[in-house]
Structure 1
Amino acid sequence: MNGLEPLAAATWPEVDRSPRRVLLLPLGSTEQHGPHLPLSTDTVIATRLAQWAHARRPEVGLAPVMPYGASGEHAHFPGTLSIGTEALATVLIEFVRHAAGSWRHVLVVNGHGGNADALRRAVEVSRYEGRSLHVHHAASAGPRADPHAGDRETSLMLHLDPDRVRMDRAVPGQTAPIAELMPRISTDGIRAVSPTGVLGEPTGADAEEGRRVFAEMGGRLLATIARLLAPD
């Protein structure tokens, strides 16, 4: 399909003949992920997770990824591109308004925690307007789940896109509890608490751990899709 997601490669009659119950929308960001991970990390994870689920549930639609999000806390690092919470919420609301004419449910597969406020706002407005927007956050918990560009994300990228991981540049980051860091991050950004942009410890990351984490994430997404596809 020349690199296009299934929806982008389809014609309108093909979409019309499809089940049109659930449309997956991967949502990422373009932001710094330390000196060792690409700016596309959140986008890669969200996209690959949605593609993985679509391959197993082909009756769901798969829209092209949205690669920009709310990343203002990373603005002090070159390369970060953010559209902010208000703009992201507006884009999502408009997206759902149009998608609702073709699909019963829109399911956002979110790869960036900073998008959460915009997603909450979009869900509130969409439901008020009688439209069905759901959110699945890709992030997983666990003993190795650190906040940003640490062990979990680095392991995932070693599994998903190893050629773009610069492990020789990985350095330990800020490891204080995120709850302690948030007041400073909220006012001064990530760079005020971590000059490298890393929150966590990426140097022990490995692809096998990434494979395990990705499988767990995929299982949770399939469960969410199954709930939306279940008969009323």
Structure 2
Amino acid sequence: MSRPAIDHFPKGKSSFAWMTSPDAERLAAGGSHRPVALLPTGAVEQHGPHLPMGLDIWLASAVANGVAEGQEGMRVCEPFAYGSSQHHRAFAGTMSLSPQTFIAVLVDLCACLWEDGFLPVIINGHGGNRAAIQVAITTLGRQRVVSAGFSYFDLIADVAAEVLPDHAGGTGHACALETSLMMHVIPQSVREDMIPEGTTPKSWPDPHLYAGPAVTVWRPFEQIRDNGVIGTPSEASPAAGQRLFEAAVERSRQTILKIQSEYGQRSIP
């Protein structure tokens, strides 16, 4: 068996796993605040006929790496690729964990980071993980472990409103927002000739990304639209993707620095 090229592996000052164990011990021991360990979460699931199934975890990882660049007190952990995606299982290739399994793994990983002197912060790229991440953070709190988490796309709703023709009805899943981001971050992954026309059929509760419905109903995505797309991906553009990605990185960094400042003390606040 030939040896894989080292360039295929993450490396550099911002990579958590690139450190040796003594490196991690030294980093965790210095300063008045804990260093932040960023844990990207996402999913491997269908994203319509035009986007790859790895989109959610790849974008969350790209945002996390952008956030940590040049930040001495931050490291990016190896991504937790699989999420709670049962609502996409009608589409081939979707790999889903039960919410209970997803929560249990997050709790174990974040507890290890906290015990070793780091402040775990989850950067999420999959809407279906939101509720489970909140439960994991609450569970960790009961164990006296301080952690935090957010979905990067929740921080850029106003930018989406500026750069997308219809941020309210055009965003959701494999939508104008995600397609634009992939056009910027991994342009070769977008099957532009397969981008579907049209938008989401009328559905209640509103399934779009920034709708924020008061009512929660579990629905398989094929019941909403037969191609699994929510929103209007034909409105995507590389220029919009650049604006959205840069905003996601900058606002995520600001948010994480605030989390570290407020909750990263060596003793529990």
Q: TM-score, normalised by structure 2?
A: 0.80
Partner in structure 1 of residue 186 of structure 2? 161
The whole-number CA distance in structure 2 between the counterparts of 1:31 and 1:185 is 20
8 Å contact 1:175–1:201 — kept in the other structure? no
Q: Which runs of 5+ in 1 are unaligned?
A: none
Partner in structure 2 of residue 219 of structure 1? 250
The whole-number CA distance in structure 1 between the counterparts of 2:177 and 2:204 is 15
Residue number among 96, 118, 138 corresponding to 2:110 in the alignment: 96
Q: CA deviation at 1:180?
A: 3.6
Residue number among 8, 15, 35 corresponding to 1:21 in the alignment: 35
Partner in structure 2 of residue 179 of structure 1? 205
Partner in structure 1 of residue 20 of structure 2? 11
Matched AA of 1:7: F
Q: Secondary structure at the match of 1:212?
A: helix
Q: CA deviation at 1:135?
A: 0.5
The whole-number CA distance in structure 2 between the counterparts of 1:17 and 1:159 is 37
Q: Percent identity at matched positions?
A: 27
Counterparts in 2 of 1:108 and 1:102: CA distance versus 1, 3 Å: same
Q: Secondary structure at the match of 1:18?
A: helix
Matched AA of 1:79: G
Equivalences, count: 231
Q: Does residue 209 in structure 1 map to residue 240 in structure 2?
A: yes
Q: Which runs of 5+ in 2 are unaligned?
A: 1-5, 29-33, 208-212
The whole-number CA distance in structure 1 between the counterparts of 2:115 and 2:204 is 41
Moved over 6 A (4+): 182-185
Alignment of 1:91-130 (within 5 A): 91-130=105-144
Measured on the aligned residues, the alpha-carbon RMSD in Å equals 2.1
Partner in structure 1 of residue 3 of structure 2? none
Deviates more, 1:168-177 or 1:66-75: 168-177
Q: CA deviation at 1:179?
A: 2.6
Q: Secondary structure at the match of 2:107?
A: helix
Q: Secondary structure at the match of 2:233?
A: coil
The whole-number CA distance in structure 2 between the counterparts of 1:169 and 1:7 is 37
The whole-number CA distance in structure 2 between the counterparts of 1:56 and 1:194 is 42
8 Å contact 1:105–1:228 — kept in the other structure? no
Q: Secondary structure at the match of 1:48?
A: helix
Deviates more, 1:7-16 or 1:76-85: 7-16
What is the CA deviation profile of residues 90-144 of structure 1, one whole-angstrom value per residue up to 9, with x for unaligned ones? 1111112211122341000000010012111101111111111100211131333
The whole-number CA distance in structure 1 between the counterparts of 2:237 and 2:100 is 36
